[in-house]
Amino acid sequence: MTSRLQFAGFLLAGLFLGLAHGARFCTPLAWIGVAGLAVGLREVQSRWVALGGLTAALFTEVLVANPWWPACAAHYWPDRPVLDGVVVLAFAALNALPKALPIAVGWLALRRWPIPLWLPAAWIVGEGLRNGLTRQAYCDWLYTQWQHEYVLRLAGHWGWIGANLLCLTLAAALGEALLRRSPRWTGFAVILTGVLMVQPAITPVEATFWPKVGALHLNGYAHLPKQAPAGVAILVWPEGANYQRPHVEEGPGHGKRIEPPLPPQGVAHLMGLITRTDGGHQNAIVALSPDGTVQMARAKVRLFPLTERPVWGWSVYFAQFLVPGAAAATLPTPVGPALSLICQEALERDFVLDQARIGATWLSQSNNEKVLVDSPHAFRQFLATSAFLAVETGLPVVRSAIYGLAALVDRDGTVLAVSEPDTDGVLTLASDVLSHAGPP
């Protein structure tokens, strides 16, 4: 096979890996992409074709997986197409190169070994490096499988790394079996498939939980709901859900009261607010009683680089620097302690799993998704992260958003309900009670 064909094969594998982040019928391409990359790394002889092809494949993957990035850049830097293109390519490099590095090192050091013995581990190390640098884990390979119950079960029982290792090894083994026409590798792939298929089901949360919770979805601040649906005991509000800037410190409220978001009707709130503190502003979640009494507050710990905190003295022009939180992420609610996550904290797997050990019985997400520029593709990607959050923590997820989707996700990863884009309302298991539909 010529070098040009080998390089084209790498590009094709990257294309498949990127397309797998789309609709459900595309998800088998994730397995084909890994198998194709394994075949390419096994067959190629030229060091430059291998390293260049691998890098090109992973650049192709992230660009195809995130078609909303150009619109996102244009949203923040309008009428500057050259700058937008530079930003997109720079972000693609930040996503692709850290992932490529361990795979390249593995190929240089271990290329005489069977690919399934080292590629999965190198892949996981690469995703870990990428996520440590960018804090953007939604491009991870395993998220492409969020609608497949057997993979969700595997992640619930084996954890993220265990599920990744098994699935990537299975995909690489299929590539090795195809290349070598080897009964041994075929048998190995069959065994791994059997392990995947026999994982026991994850028990759903008790049915009495869902009628008591509601998640807000807003398309701006003009059409806030006037009341909560009947039977709801707690409402989860998005990040920065209104323009209030109350003075609320982290920790217990000590009887402090602020204006409640709805007339008192027996409904408590997990309210996303920018709060004023003695040390500065914080991006916080405040647990409120129906009358506005502050039960407890916690602020975002992992601040987003460039927009919420400077990086090496640099920031974007619209940045709002915030003070990071220090309190535990678990807040009291009428339906049990909630692990309350603010926006992209949900992508910080180490933080989430550490906080989940404190004793929460459910998980709330409060998001501002204006950055997703109303992209259905991006909405799917972030809904995938909620499904895996549920199975990894063993907690049901109540997801709220402004400029995005609300969702209710059982702890087995099943999405029970999801809101429609461009609507304002309260999502419950019974219905989506809309206060407005259409442009804000």
For 406-421, the DSSP string reads -EEE-TTS-EEEEPPT
In a domain, 202, yes or no: no
Percent of the chain with pLDDT over 70: 99
In a domain, 204, yes or no: no
Query: Residue 143 CA to chain centroid, in angstroms?
Result: 8
Read off the pLDDT of residues 56-69 as tens digits, 9 standing for 90 and up. Answer: 999 999 999 999 99
Same domain? For 274 and 341 the reply is: yes
In a domain, 120, yes or no: yes
Judged on CB neighbours under 10 Å (0-12, 13-18, 19+), 71 is: middle
378 pLDDT above the threshold of 70: yes
Same domain? For 329 and 376 the reply is: yes
With beta carbons less than 8 A apart as the criterion, state whether 391 and 156 touch: yes
State pTM to two decimals: 0.94
Read off the pLDDT of residues 248-278 as tens digits, 9 standing for 90 and up. Answer: 999 999 999 999 988 888 999 999 999 999 9
In a domain, 152, yes or no: yes
Domain boundary among 152, 171, 197: 197
**pLDDT confidence of residue 107:** 96
In a domain, 121, yes or no: yes
Same domain? For 255 and 367 the reply is: yes
Same domain? For 169 and 265 the reply is: no
Q: Which amino acid is at 208?
A: T
- pLDDT band at residue 135 using 50, 70 and 90 as cut-offs: confident
Same domain? For 187 and 214 the reply is: no
Read off the pLDDT of residues 63-105 as tens digits, 9 standing for 90 and up. Answer: 999 999 999 999 888 899 999 999 999 999 999 999 999 999 9
Same domain? For 190 and 214 the reply is: no
Domain boundary among 197, 221, 237: 197
In a domain, 205, yes or no: no
Domain that holds residue 357: 210-437
Same domain? For 217 and 168 the reply is: no
Task: Count Cβ atoms below 10 Å from residue 267 Cβ, excluding itself.
Answer: 23
Count how many domains the chain has.
2
Residues 299-313, mean pLDDT to the nearest whole number: 82
- pLDDT band at residue 390 using 50, 70 and 90 as cut-offs: very high
Residues 163-176, mean pLDDT to the nearest whole number: 96
**pLDDT confidence of residue 4:** 87
Percent of the chain with pLDDT over 90: 80
**pLDDT confidence of residue 132:** 87
Same domain? For 93 and 180 the reply is: yes
Same domain? For 11 and 140 the reply is: yes
Q: What is the mean pLDDT of the chain?
A: 93
**pLDDT confidence of residue 136:** 80
Q: In whole angstroms, give the CA distance from residue 379 to residue 138.
A: 11
**pLDDT confidence of residue 440:** 64
Closest of 337, 224, 237, 343 to residue 283, by C-alpha: 343
In a domain, 203, yes or no: no
Closest of 208, 226, 204, 224 to residue 416, by C-alpha: 204
In a domain, 397, yes or no: yes
Domain boundary among 197, 221, 242: 197
Same domain? For 163 and 233 the reply is: no
**pLDDT confidence of residue 398:** 98
Same domain? For 225 and 106 the reply is: no
CATH number of the structural domain spanning residue 267: 3.60.110.10
Read off the pLDDT of residues 198-242 as tens digits, 9 standing for 90 and up. Answer: 999 999 999 999 999 999 999 998 888 989 999 999 999 999 988
**pLDDT confidence of residue 229:** 93
With beta carbons less than 8 A apart as the criterion, state whether 362 and 391 touch: no
Same domain? For 264 and 167 the reply is: no
Sort strands 407-409 and 415-418 into parallel, antiparallel or unpaired: antiparallel
Closest of 286, 38, 383 to residue 185, by C-alpha: 38
